[in-house]
Amino acid sequence: MRWAPDRIIFVAFDLLYLDGVNLRPAPLLERREKLLGLVGPARGAIQYSHHVHGGGADFYAAVDPHGP
């Protein structure tokens, strides 16, 4: 992601439907793989949100003191 205060940017982190197919029953990582295939590592108005594997609580504890 990049900073662009003069633009609205949609950061996508999950894909629930594709071509009329409900993807919600599929595993999250499978849905995210499909999402990455659609938007790619784009720098446009729609951007893919990368994720952290495991240790989510530790990650948030480390970044929380830095604020929003």
Kindly report the three-state secondary structure assignment for every residue of the chain. CCCCCCCCCEEECCCCEECCEECCCCCHHHHHHHHHHHHCCCCCCEEECCCCCCCHHHHHHHHHHHCC
- The Cα–Cα gap between 12 and 41 comes to 11
pLDDT given for residue 3 in this prediction: 66
Per-residue confidence (pLDDT) for residue 21, from 0 to 100: 96
Amino acid at 31: R
The confidence band for 2, taking pLDDT boundaries of 50, 70 and 90, is low
Identify whether the C-beta of residue 21 lies closer than 8 Å to the C-beta of residue 28. Answer: no
pLDDT in tens, 4-58: 678 788 888 899 999 999 999 999 989 999 998 988 877 778 888 887 677 778 8
Domain boundaries, the chain: 1-50
- pTM of full prediction above 0.85: no
The pLDDT of residue 4 is 63
